Structure 1
C-alpha cells in the first residue's frame, strides 16, 4: 500500500454539482469543495472492502480544501495505523481487508484534524425520515460532507445533501464503489455512482450510522 495519498488533480471534484439545485429552498447541500475517492483511485485495488476508507478520504479531502490543509489525504495504510495507534484495532488490523464504519471515521477525523464528529444511529431504514431535521440542520450549520454506513446494507457512502418534499425525502449519495479510470460527472450520474436516493429505497431491515463532522468551511464562518 502507498504510505501517502496526495491531493491529486486527477480526481474529480464536487461530482454532485450536476444534480444540485441550490435555488430550491427544500434542498440542503454540502458547502465547499471535495474530491471523489473511490475503489482503486490511487492504484490500490480495495474492491469489496475499502468503501469506508474511500468515503473517509473524500471527507478528508473536504477538510484539507476547506478547513485544515495537511497537504495530503491519509492512505488506507495510514488510516489503519491511526486506528491501531488509538487502540481501537489490534495490530493484526494492519494490512488487513477489514472494513471500517462511521465510528472509525469519527476517530480518524478527530485524530488527524482535531475535529469532533457527531454519530447519528438509526435503528432501521424505515426510520431514516426521523433524522431529516438533523441532516437539514447539519448542512445549514456546518455544510461538511457526511459518511453513512449500515448493517445489512453495510456499504459506506457519502451524503452530500438532503432534499425534502411532501412525497419523499431523498439523500444526495456519492458512492465510492466505482472502480476504473476517471470519467466525467455525467458518466457517474448515468451509472448511479452519484444520485438522489429516496429514503424508501434504503433497506428497511438495516440499521444505519452516520458520521457528521462538526466543522464549517473557513469561508462559511
Structure 2
C-alpha cells in the first residue's frame, strides 16, 4: 500500500495537535469505549440512519505506550475491529503479534516483524480469521468511485447488525473505521468516521468528538475520488 504523504493528502484533517509535537509516547492507556455515543445525526431532514450494534474500544497511536506515529494506523484500526462486539480488550492482539502472525502465515516475508511497514484491509481480514475475531468481508471500490456506490451496502451492513468497517486506499492511504451511515432525502450522505491517528491521552469521548477524531463526514468531500478503496466489513461469526 502506498505510503501517505501529508503534503498531498486530500483527506479532512481534524482540529488536533500535530503528531510530532509530543516528545515521548504516552503511558499505557485504558481504551475508551463507544466514543461516538452522543453525536447528533448529521442530516437536516428525514433520513435513514444505521449505526453499528454492539460495543468497541478506541485504539489509536501510542495507546499501548508504543510510538507508532506515521505507520500504525492500520494496526490500530484492526485492534478496534477485534474489540467488537463486546468492547473488551480480551482477544485484541498487539502490534508485534499482528506482524508475527502475518509473517508466520506467509503473507509477509521474513523480517516483517519488528518493522514499521503498513498494513491494510487485506491483512486485517487475514488477522481477524487468525486471531478468531469477528469475520471480515472484503469489498473493493474502484478508483474514481469513492464510497458513493457502496452507501447502500454500508447501510445494509450496519442495519443488519454489522460491526465497524475498516477502510483504506492508495492515494488516500490513511486507515480509519466507519461506524455508521446517514442517508438524507436528496443527495445527502454521511459516514461516521473513527480516526486512529490521535496522539495523547483522551479523558472522555466528548474530547474526541469536539476535536473531530470521531464524527460524521460528508462522503463527497471526506474521500479522495482519485483513490481506490478497500473495505473490511466485520460481522459476527456464524
Matches within 5 A, 1:75-94: 75-94=94-113
Confirm or deny that 1:122 pairs with 2:141.
yes
Alignment check: 8 A CA contact 1:118 1:212 kept: yes
User: How far off is 1:197 after superposition?
Assistant: 0.9
SS for the counterpart of 1:92 is coil
Gaps of 5+ in 2: 1-27
Q: Deviations over 1:135-158 (max 9, x none)?
A: 011112232111111111100001
Which residue does the alignment assign to 2:82? Answer: 60
Confirm or deny that 1:30 pairs with 2:52.
yes
Distance 1:204 1:138 in 2: 23
Q: TM-score, normalised by structure 1?
A: 0.86
> Normalized per residue, which structure has more helix?
1
Q: TM-score, normalised by structure 2?
A: 0.80
Alignment check: 8 A CA contact 2:194 2:215 kept: yes
1:55–1:18 distance in 2 versus 1, CA, 3 Å: same
Alignment check: 8 A CA contact 1:157 1:175 kept: yes
Distance 1:44 1:73 in 2: 15
How many residue pairs match? The answer is 205
Match of 1:162 among 181, 185, 189: 181
Alignment check: 8 A CA contact 2:84 2:134 kept: no
Gaps of 5+ in 1: 1-7
User: How far off is 1:9 after superposition?
Assistant: 7.9
Distance 2:166 2:65 in 1: 23
Confirm or deny that 1:188 pairs with 2:208.
yes
Alignment check: 8 A CA contact 2:146 2:228 kept: no
